[in-house]
Amino acid sequence: QQAVRIAPSILSADFSRLGEEIRALEAAGADYIHVDVMDGHFVPNITIGPMVVKAIRPHTSLVMDVHLMISPADPYLDAFADAGADILTVHPEAGPHLHRSIQRIKGLGKKAGVSLNPATPAKMLDYVLEDIDLVLVMSVNPGFGGQSFIDSQLRKIEAIRKAIDKTGKVIDLQVDGGIDQVTAVAAISAGADVLVAGTATFKGGPGQYAANIAGLRG
Ligand code: DX5
Ligand code: ZN
């Protein structure tokens, strides 16, 4: 388990001034910028695409952590890589060839993540864990910010922590959805080392971002 890093989800940002928001997050001590890409098909919401990733890229030197909730994802991997993503995370259910998606992401010189929905078992990772840089456990059903943390995911985080440690490799264990000061502690003690937080980062406005982020580190 590495040091805890906080990845604010810009889903809760003011989209009319995204550049400013991202600069404020960096100044407030964020570690990654988490970008939720939704297609209205894999998940019941539509957000942003590669053009927006490209537009915000010059506003930060932080790791751009792009969470692809789109199906299929493969046709868009190159576009998100070109737009400046550093990490590309895909869901196994989004396409028939998870291993190929991972190969493509690595071939583009980017870090590869795999995200598991709440009902998706940890064993989906059995034959890909050694090849990836990040596991993302969804602690809500993907699609929207502001939902409640699903407690059953703590068991999954614990199991994946053990599996990661067995590999001896550096693999981020990220948790996404319903993270607040209380669930952050639970997720970290279950083995998470990157926390995605939308609502909890942005509450109270820009003047609070630094305190909000610091409050999640446990
Ligand atoms: C949900 C997204 C999350 C979301 C988290 O589909 O993947 O990143 O923005 O929002 P909060 O922190 O509000 O649960
Ligand atoms: Zn996300």
How many CB atoms neighbour CB 128 within 10 A?
Answer: 16
According to the model, what pLDDT value does residue 93 have?
97
According to the model, what pLDDT value does residue 4 have?
98
Q: What is the pLDDT of residues 155-183, one digit of tens each?
A: 999 999 999 999 999 999 999 999 999 99
CA 146 to ligand 2 center in whole angstroms: 12
Entry pTM: 0.98
CB 7 within 8 A of CB 196: yes
Is 82 an active-site residue?
no
Instruction: Give domain limits for the chain.
Output: 5-215
Sheet arrangement for strand 87-90: 5-8, 194-197, 172-176, 134-138, 111-116, 87-90, 63-69, 32-38
Task: Tell me which fold the domain 5-215 belongs to.
Answer: TIM Barrel (3.20.20)
CB 140 within 8 A of CB 148: yes
Q: What is the pLDDT of residues 98-144, one digit of tens each?
A: 999 999 999 999 999 999 999 999 999 999 999 999 999 999 999 99
Residue 218, SS3 per DSSP: coil
Looking at ligand 1, which residue's alpha carbon is closest to its atom 9?
Answer: 145
Burial class (CB in 10 A: 0-12, 13-18, 19+), 106: middle
CB 137 within 8 A of CB 163: no
Looking at ligand 1, which residue's alpha carbon is closest to its atom 10?
Answer: 145
According to the model, what pLDDT value does residue 67 have?
99
- Residue list, ligand 1 pocket, CB within 6 Å: 9, 11-12, 34, 36, 67, 140, 142-143, 145-147, 176-179, 196-200
Reported as a pLDDT band with limits 50, 70 and 90, residue 218 is confident
Q: What is the pLDDT of residues 1-47, one digit of tens each?
A: 899 999 999 999 999 999 999 999 999 999 999 999 999 999 999 99
Is 198 annotated as contributing to ligand binding? yes
Distance CA 214, CA 216 (A): 5
Is 41 annotated as contributing to ligand binding? no
Cα atoms in the 13 Å half-sphere on the side-chain side of 6 = 28
CB 185 within 8 A of CB 218: yes
According to the model, what pLDDT value does residue 135 have?
99
Ligand nearest to the CA of 141: 1
According to the model, what pLDDT value does residue 123 have?
98
Give the mean pLDDT of 63-76: 98
The dihedral through the CA atoms of 189, 204, 86, 59 has a sign that is: negative
Q: Is the ipTM of this complex over 0.95?
A: yes
Is the previous residue joined to 72 through a cis bond, with omega within 30 degrees of 0? yes
Distance CA 175, CA 144 (A): 15
Distance CA 37, CA 188 (A): 25
Distance CA 22, CA 33 (A): 8
